[in-house]
Amino acid sequence: MRWRWQVSALLLWLLPALAAVGEIYPARSVPAEGTLTLYSTLDTAVFEPLLVDFQQLHPGIGVRYENLDARPQYERFVGEADAGIQSADLLISTSMDLQVKLVNDGYTLPHGSVSADALPSWARWRNEAFGFTFEPAVMVFNRAAMGDRTIPQSRAELIDQIRRDPEFWRSRIGTYDISKSSVGYLLASQDVRLSNEFGALVEALGDVDLQVEENTSTLLERIESGDLVAGYNLLGSYARARPDSNRNFLLVYPRDHTVVLSRTVVIARNAPNPALAHKFLDYLLSVRGQRVMAARCGLPPIRKELDGVYERLGVNESQIGVLRPISLGPGLLVYLDQQKRRQMLDAWRAILGPTQ
Amino acid sequence: MPQRLGTQRMVERVRSLRARLVTTMALLFLAGTVVMYVAVRAYGQRAADLSYDRLLSGSALSIAETLSVDGSEVRVDIPYAALDMLSAAPEDRVFYRVYGPSQHTVTGYDDLPGHEVRQAGEIEPSDVPEPRFFDAQYRGEQVRFVLLGRQLAQPGLRGWVWVQVGQTRRAREELASQLVLGALLPIALMTLLSLALAWFGVGRALRPLKAISEDLARRDPYDLHVLQTPVPREVGPMVDAMNGFIRRLDANITGLRAFIGDAAHQIRTPLAALRAQAQLALDESDPGEMRAGLMSVERHASRLTRLVNQLLSEAMVMHRTDNRHFEEFDLVDVVKRAVRDVVPVSDDVQVGFISGVAKAPMRGDAVLLGEAIKNIVDNAIKHGMSEPPRLDEEVDIELHPSNGGYRLTVSDRGSGITVDDRTRIFQRFERGHARSPGAGLGLAIVSRVVASHGGNIELIDRQGGGLTVCLTLGGMT
């Protein structure tokens, strides 16, 4: 009889999810408590250890995990919610700004727990949005390709090197395409806000034919292969997660300031299984969840209980400048403003234009 | 004496002073607190709105600063700080909208609830409108909005552009609650403190009363000293009243004791004499002697009777002077009745009464005055006989108005009283002559009655021999 029940349960998932089924982790025990649906910008393979460990704690909960890019994920979810479709229970995104917009526009549910209270205040907003990782945006260099050149430790030093030897850097430095990558846009907007040198940097990068890519892994592959010498504003976690990172990659936390991004999770207001969503969120923010995430997903945890900041990042304090975490809050809505976004993309294209 | 059953029963207890005071105060404070709450709540709301409205209009203003025109398009470059400054209210959602002439949304949430604004034409070009604040429901929450207008006048575009910024009310409500709590908490504490103070204060204030009751409870039945316990001014009148009461009781009891002592002493001697006379008479065998003895017995008995009557009369007078039963009566009438009671019908003594008024209304105790007049007239008849008897032996009574009161004189033709004796004679058990038949109480009674009526008594020599007793009495006062 058991197989028949499972089949019917499977059919139940399939019906609303015909467009994109995603990865399914069925419940491991009977009675099943239901299935939790996650929309996430994190690669399934990266996130899987967390799901497996969660199911060990709650074998009755099945999980459907759907990997989407940040903006499509946002647009799809808002479309579904506005149409009255109950789709995702939890949304995980690197786009802190889009997550804040979901909260601001009333698409999310509040969540309260001891673990949530333990988060730093910048990683929490209205008890509805929670940052659960601690990921600095770094400069990544290919050790071999740099040879015995000095490694720039700040934006000013990078500008200086580019200006001194533009031919070395031509077409060999990359970053996110901010018109396509939400993370790239968020990090660039924070640079605009925080850095006096960003304008000069973008200008310098434009002069040496900046290479842009939509996602991190492509950039890292190009740096690894030596096609690119350096990458600017990349999430260091990806670089560190690669198997041969120690040999090939050199991560630099810009001395002037290092923007820190925190992947953000929210519970959907119209979640089909809000109880399960609260359970998973509680697990994700718990010390156990954070530990599993740090050890097996390669994502630096946010909970201070685990380790100090530098231990968590695997760096020495002397190697690192001022850390500037992006604070969850209404300020993030500014760069989502239609006009603001258009102006920023226009300026970006204007600088990089001749070479695009 | 009947047993006083009532003394052990407590006076009926009405609600405790303390409970009454504290309940009244608590109700008063409660009413005050409710009024305060309403007032403070309104004040808190206003204060919270005022402070967060500044933030809101600051945000709108910083957005409005960036307004510009590009060709025929309105451009706005929302500063990061414009929205970030609103996170001073950390838990509040933020909405904004910039819209130009003809309600066209330039950027922001295009479905924000609107607010009636004056049409562009109605605003003077030089007019810089004040930011307008209003509350509206948006996306399931109450939102406070500010609306700020800016006039743009460029070749491609003319008209008003509006910046609308809104923020949910969580921080405002919290601030208002804090203000309310901050104001009401001290009041509540003060209330509790005051109630406690009242509770213990009543106990403290009533402590002297407790001391008094302990003092009274400790006393033996004959201890009638006045209360000496120092008491607060407010309790003073009560203690004074109690002391007055104790004094009267003391005087009464002292008087009663003196009377009993006197009566016993006065009666014992004549009684012994009476018994001795009777025994003597019994021992006589001669009928003549026996008769003389019996006559002596009769004389003693009548004297004793007179003594007892006077004693009882004095007791009555004492009682009535202590309890002043004053009322209106006609003095003429009283004098007439007294004379009728005293003057023996068969006697040959002449008693005349002349009144200068037909009616003499006065205020006092008619019974007492009657008793006093009887005593005077009786004395006049008994002592007014001259030795040897004269033809014009007469007792004259005259009543005349005098100074708003009356002057009553009783004159006889007796031997009079020497000037030396005239003060002594008013004391109890003092007689004008040692051999006179009275008990020595008559004039003492008179003196007491007259004094209780605020009157005056005077003894003067009568022209042509005899004594005149002159009473001066108040009238209606």
| Pairwise CB contact (< 8 Å): B75 & A333 | no
Q: What is the percentage of chain B residues whose pLDDT exceeds 90?
A: 12
Q: Which positions in chain A touch B88 (Cβ < 8 Å)?
A: none
Mean pLDDT of B383-402: 73
Asked if A334's CB is within 8 angstroms of B94's CB, the reply is no
* Mean pLDDT of the B86-96 span: 89
Residues from chain B contacting residue A104 (CB–CB below 8 Å)? 93-95
DSSP-assigned letters across all residues of B116-150: ----GGGS-TT--PPPEEEEEEETTEEEEEEEEEE
At residue B33's C-alpha, the angle toward residues B32 and B37, to 5°, is: 120
Q: Which residues of chain B make contact with A105, given a CB cutoff of 8 A?
A: 93, 139
In B, residues 50-89, which contact A (CB 8 Å cutoff)? 75-84, 86-87
Q: What is the mean pLDDT of residues B82-111?
A: 88
* A193 close to B (CB below 8 A): yes
* Whether B96 contacts B108, CB under 8 Å: yes
B191: pLDDT strictly greater than 80: yes
- Closest-CA residue of B relative to A343 is B77
The confidence band for A309, taking pLDDT boundaries of 50, 70 and 90, is low
Nearest by CB: A334 against B82, B95, B140 = B82
pLDDT at residue number A16: 47
Q: Which of A106, A330, A343 sits opposite B140 (nearest CB)?
A: A106
pLDDT at residue B475, as a whole number: 76
Do residues B296 and B424 lie in contact, with contact meaning Cβ atoms separated by under 8 Å? no
The tokens of A145 are what? 């390709």
Q: pLDDT tens digits, residue range B327-369?
A: 888 988 999 888 888 877 656 677 888 888 888 888 888 888 8
A-chain CB neighbours of B108 within 8 Å are 337-338
Mean pLDDT check: name the lowest of A283-287, B92-96, B238-242. Answer: B238-242
What residue of A is the nearest CA neighbor of B85? A331
> For testing the chain A interface, which of B78, B164, B165 should be mutated: the one with the most A CBs within 10 Å?
B78
| CB contacts, 8 Å: A338 with chain B | 107-108
- Residue B1: what pLDDT? 41
Q: How confident is the model at residue A1 (pLDDT cuts 50, 70, 90)?
A: very low
- H or E element at residue B467: strand B467-473
Percent of chain A surpassing pLDDT 70 = 88
For chain A, give the mean pLDDT.
86
Q: What is the pLDDT of residue A163?
A: 93
pLDDT top residue among B10 and B315: B315
Confidence band for A17, pLDDT divided at 50, 70 and 90: very low
Q: Which residues of A touch B76 (CB under 8 A)?
A: 339
Q: Quick one: average pLDDT of B410-421?
A: 80
ipTM score for this prediction: 0.81
Gap from B160 CA to chain A (nearest CA, Å): 19
DSSP A110: -
On chain B, the residues whose CB falls within 8 A of the CB of A343 are 77
Q: Name A264's bridge partners.
A: A93, A131
Flag whether residue A272 sits within 8 Å of chain B, measured between CB atoms.
no
Q: Which of A104, A105, A337 sits opposite B78 (nearest CB)?
A: A337
Give the pLDDT confidence of B99-126 residue by residue, as tens digits.
Answer: 887 778 889 998 888 876 555 455 555 5
B107 interfacial to chain A (CB closer than 8 Å): yes
C-alpha A63/C-alpha A54 separation (Å) is 10
Which residues of chain B are within 8 Å of residue A103 when distances are taken between CB atoms?
A: 93
Instruction: Read off the pLDDT band of A15 (50, 70, 90).
Output: very low
Minimum-distance CB partner of B77 among A106, A127, A343: A343
Q: CA triplet B227, B228, B233: central angle to 5 degrees?
A: 95
- Cα dihedral: B12, B18, B19, B21 (round 10): 120
Distance CA(A226)–CA(B26), nearest Å, equals: 85
Residue A8 pLDDT > 70: no
Residue with tokens 């500010």: B146
Q: What are the structure tokens assigned to B198, written together?
A: 């009242």
CB contact under 8 A, A340 and B107: yes
Contact between A109 and A268 under an 8 Å Cβ cutoff? The reply is: yes
Instruction: Please check whether residue A347 touches B, CB under 8 A.
Output: no
Q: Look at residue B425 in the predicted model and tell me its pLDDT.
A: 77
pLDDT (0 to 100) of residue B387: 59
Interface test with B, best of A99, A324, A334, A346 (most B CBs within 10 A): A334
Facing residue for B87 by CB, picked from A330, A339, A340:
A330
Q: Which of B91, B105, B137, B170 to mutate to test the interface with A (most CBs of A within 10 A)?
A: B91
| pLDDT recorded at residue A312 | 61
* Sign (positive or negative) of CA dihedral B122, B128, B133, B139: positive
Which residue of A lies nearest to B170 if distances are taken between CA atoms?
A126
Instruction: Report the relative pairing of strands B157-168 and B94-99 from DSSP bridges.
Output: antiparallel
Better-predicted residue by pLDDT, B409 or A247: B409
A329 and B CB contact within 8 Å: yes
B118 at the A interface (CB within 8 A)? no
Residue to mutate among B83, B104, B105, with most A CBs inside 10 A, is B83
Residue with tokens 């490694």: A151
pLDDT of residue A5: 53
B376 in A contact zone (CB under 8 Å): no
Whether residue A329 and residue B84 make contact (CB cut-off 8 A), yes or no, is yes
| A339/B106 CB distance under 8 A | yes
Binary contact (A331, B90; C-beta < 8 A)? no
> Which residues, at least 6 apart from B129, have a Cβ–Cβ distance to it below 8 Å?
B118, B123, B148, B149
According to the model, what pLDDT value does residue A77 have?
A: 95
The model's confidence at residue A33, banded by pLDDT at 50, 70 and 90, is confident
Q: Is B93 on the interface with A (CB under 8 A)?
A: yes
Mean of the pLDDT values across residues B27-37?
A: 88
Say yes or no to pLDDT of A308 above 70: no
- Is B465 touching A (CB cutoff 8 A)? no
Q: How confident is the model at residue B431 (pLDDT cuts 50, 70, 90)?
A: low
Residue length of chain B = 477
Check if A125 contacts B (Cβ < 8 Å).
yes
Alpha carbon distance B365, B405 (integer Å):
15
Residue for token pair 């209360």: B227
Average pLDDT for residues A213-219, to the nearest whole number? 88
B441-473 burial, b at 16+ Cβ within 10 Å, e below that, comes to bbbbbbbbbbebbebebebeebeeebbbbebbb
Contact A73, A39 (CB under 8 A): yes
Residue type present at position A223: I
Contacts of A300 (CB under 8 A, 6+ apart): A133, A134, A135, A237, A294, A312, A313
| pLDDT tens by residue, A244-295 | 555 678 888 998 889 999 999 999 999 999 999 999 999 999 999 999 998 8
Of A103, A121, A339, which has the smallest distance from its Cβ to B107's Cβ? A339
- The pLDDT score that the predictor gives to residue B145 is 93
Q: Does A196 touch chain B (CB under 8 A)?
A: no
Q: Is A106 on the interface with B (CB under 8 A)?
A: yes
Contacts of B92 in chain A (CB under 8 A): 126, 330
The mean per-residue pLDDT over the stretch A223-243 comes to 84
| Percent of chain A clearing pLDDT 90 (strictly above) | 56
Instruction: Tell me what pLDDT residue B3 has.
Output: 44
Say yes or no for a CB contact (<8 Å) between A338 and B78: no
Confidence of residue B464 (pLDDT cuts 50, 70, 90): confident
Residue A11's pLDDT band (boundaries 50, 70, 90)? Answer: very low
